[in-house]
């Protein structure tokens, strides 16, 4: 007989029991009817006598619903209601159980067109941080049931539904059953049920209360098999407690002279399996009758020899080590020995696939601490991502947490950011249980009480308590000593290192006042030099289609100190002798101005960049100055000739450097521009100059510097600015490989009255464009954050932003899909040759994915991005210096067990 597929998923049919027996003890059972309302409601399901209750106490999210009433008669009552999860990517059930205890966990899904969309959902199911399986429903009334046998590593368990596409995850019922730890023992991993069958012509499946563990047994009978049965009781008191209906029936070959065969095929040919066979002699044998047989599999390999089932008593044969088949196909043959007068039989069969538990759960004490912090500060609704394991998998790490991922040890929390979370009350002692915490940000809340002394006993190097006006001013003496020893930075309102020295504070204030006075004097002197007819040029926050513009003298740019004539531009470029690059705006030429190298961008008459954009860029660069913004040397506004004259960036743009572009040695300008510092990154070949791939440290340095430039635009400018066109070609590198943002023609300023966004026609580069901005026309600094997140993904992967040959064309979708298996190497630029800190790469990818969140409100701010990237750079520098152990996320490989690796055991 042949299994065409496993028994899960299958259709749950409701059936009536005409003779109810006394229910077994349900102690330890957790039976949740998901979405059942009201939350205190319970009921006894009539076909199993199991008491079900609402899932409300185990889940913080989701919406209750009911399947279409026309389908209810087909199903057991616990599937009539359901809970769906239209919000959030990961939603988790939380259980407090017994550590190291073994549980059977069963999740049931009946769609029943509850939402009226007739759209069959597909999503993933996780056990803790590890993917359990993918859930899909074959039809409106087809049930999908998934069972797992799992040993708890902590006293907490999370079962999570993870959205993987456009459809909404849902669940009908969730059931947990304690099992004996002496059963279903594996060398590693948990067990996913593939089949659990008994051999009976009746259509009814067996569950509780006939099976005291509430395992689901499905009746099965092949074409070449017959069934024998008994009314006598069978002793089933071994560890597996096979139910009486299973023990009292058995399959035998229809032709008694032929072997009994059982076949099945696993979809995953790499899967490891555990197989449990239950046998009992259920016929009263005559004195000279014998039932003895050999069990072989897959072409005659020995499984068990000369086996005689015990009379009216169950024995279980199983393999202590996992087995596999190169093609996923299994064939078991039960054949009489020469001593036997009766054909072989089998009463029950269980087949499981190994689920490898590769992701370790966060340290249990820290999980408990985070749960307590979540409860203390009532963060359930404020932090929707705080579900499941705090640190794992990395892709779904809790917002505001950074974690360390040591090899073979649980992840540990190393930073906690609760800034702006409306926290009230005192600083919770539960924070002290995060023993590896180095950064704590509680700024901009409403905390009160005193600064607790326990903070001095922690590994903290940075504490930010600014913006908590009710918090006590005194600093505990042990904490002050750490501040004085410069092992800790404590940020309070108005200062970054709380000192008791009032005199020092007063001196600082006086210094600031003197500086302001000096700046005021300089400003007055400069103002007197300006001509009275100069007027400021407003920058419009709304733009339409760019058209040619007529310019009056009154609209010219105000500052004349850096203005050049067209003839001066011709002179500095030697009549436009050397082209550095071309774009939609026009052509960039190499030039020299008083022995200073410059880059001259001439605005083409056919350029889409009009005079407004030209003036906007000049005005911006004349009033802002930052080491990571390309400096404006001057400009030309001479008739129809428009030019911007920048500081020269010798090493080109980031995209060129990522591609490893080759340069011709005959180009003397390029050779001259390469400093001695860069020689170690160059390979000299036959007539070519090849720039090697950027190292991970260099990429991180570039990311930090570009982020600092963007952060300055958002927070250092008055009024603040949005760049609107952040991309690798607008990140330039000078001769020291220092990164600077360029091309501010699309930049827009915000009003100074507190508005956080402006309405404007969408502008930017496809692939980097914020989808929320594109959809709503509302521009904010978070639009830049989205674009920068895309750039970060390019730095990690060296992949194009869009590639139609990929299954997921856009880089954000592609990275997300590739990371579902938890292997960071699958996306990292192979040119890096694994020379990077894995924790740092994970951190950057997580940060990038946060930046490209479809909802701008859930994206981090640029100050947060800068802080995170600085940590990543520090990881890499420490690794290079040898002071930090390199942690790598190796994939675990399993090889099939050979026959000699195990001998099936009988119980």
Name the binding residues for ATP: 601
CA distance 276 to 304: 12
CA distance 382 to 362: 22
Sequence-ordered list of residues with C-beta below 8 angstroms from that of 97, at least 6 positions apart, any chain: 103, 152, 155, 156, 157, 176
The Cα-based distances of 861 to 46, 386, 439, 867 in angstroms read: 55, 19, 17, 10
Characterize 855-876 residue by residue with b for buried, 16 or more Cβ atoms within 10 angstroms of its Cβ, and e for exposed.
ebeebbbbebbbbbbebbbebb
**Binding residue numbers:** 601
Pairing mode, if any, of strands 63-66 and 130-136? unpaired
Q: How far is CA 267 from the centre of its chain?
A: 27
Q: Kindly list the catalytic residues.
A: 725
The Cα-based distances of 468 to 463, 473, 488, 823 in angstroms read: 13, 10, 19, 41
Cis peptide before 719 (omega within 30 of 0): yes
How many DSSP H helices and E strands does the chain contain? 14, 47
CA distance 78 to 50: 10
Token pair for 152: 């708890």
| 709 phi, psi to nearest 5 deg | -65, -40
| 805 phi, psi to nearest 5 deg | -80, -15
- Containing 643, the helix (H) or strand (E) segment is strand 641-647
Name the nearest CA neighbour of 768 among 860, 827, 844, 852: 852
| Residue whose token pair is 């100074």 | 752
The SS3 of residue 863 is helix
CA distance 351 to 272: 11
| Residue whose token pair is 């993917």 | 131
Provide the Cα torsion 141, 13, 240, 45; round to 10°: 100
**Computed from CA positions of residues 19, 22, 25, 29, in that sequence, does the dihedral angle turn out positive or negative?**
positive
């Amino acid at each position: 007989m042949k299994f065409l597929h496993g028994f899960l998923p299958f259709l749950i049919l409701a059936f009536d029991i005409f003779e109810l027996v006394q229910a077994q003890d349900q102690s330890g059972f957790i039976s949740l009817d998901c979405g059942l309302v009201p939350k205190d409601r319970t009921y006894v399901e009539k076909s199993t006598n199991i008491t079900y209750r609402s899932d409300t106490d185990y889940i913080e999210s989701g919406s209750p619903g009911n399947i279409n009433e026309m389908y209810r008669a087909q199903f057991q009552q616990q599937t009539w209601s359901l809970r769906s999860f239209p919000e959030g990517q990961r939603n988790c059930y939380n259980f407090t159980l017994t550590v190291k205890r073994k549980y059977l966990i069963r999740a049931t899904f009946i769609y029943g067109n509850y939402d009226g969309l007739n759209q069959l959902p597909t999503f993933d199911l996780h056990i803790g941080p590890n993917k359990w399986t993918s859930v899909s429903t074959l039809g409106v009334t087809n049930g999908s049931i998934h069972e797992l046998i799992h040993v708890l590593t902590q006293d907490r368990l999370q079962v999570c539904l993870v959205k993987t596409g456009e459809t909404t995850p849902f669940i009908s019922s969730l059931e947990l059953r304690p099992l004996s730890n002496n059963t279903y023992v594996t060398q590693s991993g948990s067990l996913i049920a593939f089949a659990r069958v008994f051999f009976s012509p009746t259509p009814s499946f067996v569950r509780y209360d006939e099976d005291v563990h509430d395992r689901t047994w499905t009746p099965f009978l092949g074409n070449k098999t017959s069934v024998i049965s008994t009314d006598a009781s069978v002793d089933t008191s071994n560890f597996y407690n096979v139910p009486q209906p299973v023990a009292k029936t058995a399959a035998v070959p229809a032709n008694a002279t032929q072997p009994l065969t059982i076949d099945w095929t696993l979809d995953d040919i790499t899967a490891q399996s555990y197989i449990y066979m239950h046998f009992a002699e259920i016929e009263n044998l005559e004195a000279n009758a014998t039932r003895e047989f050999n069990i072989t599999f897959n072409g005659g390999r020995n499984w068990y020899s000369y086996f005689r089932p015990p009379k009216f008593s169950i024995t279980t044969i199983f393999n202590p080590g996992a087995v596999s088949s190169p093609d996923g196909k299994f064939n078991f043959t039960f054949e009489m020995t020469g001593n036997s007068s009766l054909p072989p039989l089998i009463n029950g069969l269980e087949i499981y696939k190994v689920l490898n538990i590769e992701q370790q759960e966060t340290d249990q004490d820290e999980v408990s601490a985070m749960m307590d912090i979540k409860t203390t500060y009532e963060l359930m609704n404020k932090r929707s991502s705080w579900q499941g394991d705090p640190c794992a998998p990395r892709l779904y790490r809790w917002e505001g947490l950074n974690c360390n991922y040591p090899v073979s040890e649980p992840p540990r929390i190393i930073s906690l950011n609760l800034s702006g979370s409306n926290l009230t009350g005192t600083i919770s002692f539960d924070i002290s249980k995060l023993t590896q915490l180095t950064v704590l940000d509680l700024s901009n809340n409403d905390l009160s009480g005193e600064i607790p002394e326990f903070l001095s006993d922690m590994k903290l190097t940075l504490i930010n308590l600014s913006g908590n006006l009710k918090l006590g001013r005194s600093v505990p003496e042990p904490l002050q000593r750490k501040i004085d020893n410069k092992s800790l930075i404590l940020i309070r309102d108005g200062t970054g290192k709380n000192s008791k020295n009032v005199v020092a504070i007063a001196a600082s204030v006086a210094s600031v006042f003197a500086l302001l006075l000096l700046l005021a004097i300089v400003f007055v002197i400069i103002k007197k030099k300006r001509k009275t007819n100069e007027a400021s040029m407003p920058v419009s926050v709304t733009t339409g289609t760019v058209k040619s513009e007529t310019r009056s003298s009154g609209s010219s740019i105000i500052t004349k100190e850096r203005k050049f004539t067209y003839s001066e531009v011709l002179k500095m470029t030697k009549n436009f002798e050397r082209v550095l690059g071309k774009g939609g705006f026009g052509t960039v030429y190499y030039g020299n101005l008083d022995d200073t190298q410059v880059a001259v961008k001439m605005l083409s008459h056919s350029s889409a960049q009009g005079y407004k954009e030209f003036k906007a860029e000049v005005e911006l660069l004349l009033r802002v100055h930052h080491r990571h913004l390309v400096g404006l040397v001057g400009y030309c506004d001479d008739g129809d000739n428009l030019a911007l004259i920048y500081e020269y960036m010798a090493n080109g743009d980031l995209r060129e450097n990522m591609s490893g572009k080759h340069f011709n040695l005959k180009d003397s300008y390029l050779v001259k521009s390469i400093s001695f510092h860069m020689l170690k990154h160059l390979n000299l070949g036959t007539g070519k100059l090849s720039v090697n791939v950027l190292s991970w440290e260099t990429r991180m340095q570039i990311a930090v510097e570009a982020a600092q430039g963007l952060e300055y635009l958002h927070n250092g400018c008055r009024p603040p600015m949005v760049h609107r066109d952040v991309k690798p070609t607008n990140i330039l590198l000078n001769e020291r490989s220092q990164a600077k943002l360029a091309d501010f023609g699309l930049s827009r300023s915000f009003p100074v009255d507190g508005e956080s966004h402006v309405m404007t026609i969408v502008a930017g580069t496809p692939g980097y464009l914020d989808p929320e901005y594109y959809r709503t026309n509302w521009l904010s600094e978070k639009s830049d954050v989205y674009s920068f997140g895309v750039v970060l993904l390019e730095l990690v992967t060296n992949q194009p932003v869009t590639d139609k040959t990929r299954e997921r064309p856009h880089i954000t979708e592609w990275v997300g899909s590739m990371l579902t298996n938890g292997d960071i190497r699958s996306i990292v630029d192979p040119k890096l040759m694994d020379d990077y800190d894995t924790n740092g790469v994970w951190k950057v990818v997580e940060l990038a994915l946060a930046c490209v969140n479809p909802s701008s409100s859930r994206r981090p701010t640029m100050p947060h991005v800068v802080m995170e990237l600085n940590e990543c750079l520090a990881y890499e520098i420490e690794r290079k210096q040898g002071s930090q152990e390199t942690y790598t996320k190796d994939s675990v490989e399993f090889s099939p067990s050979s026959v000699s690796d195990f001998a099936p055991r009988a119980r």
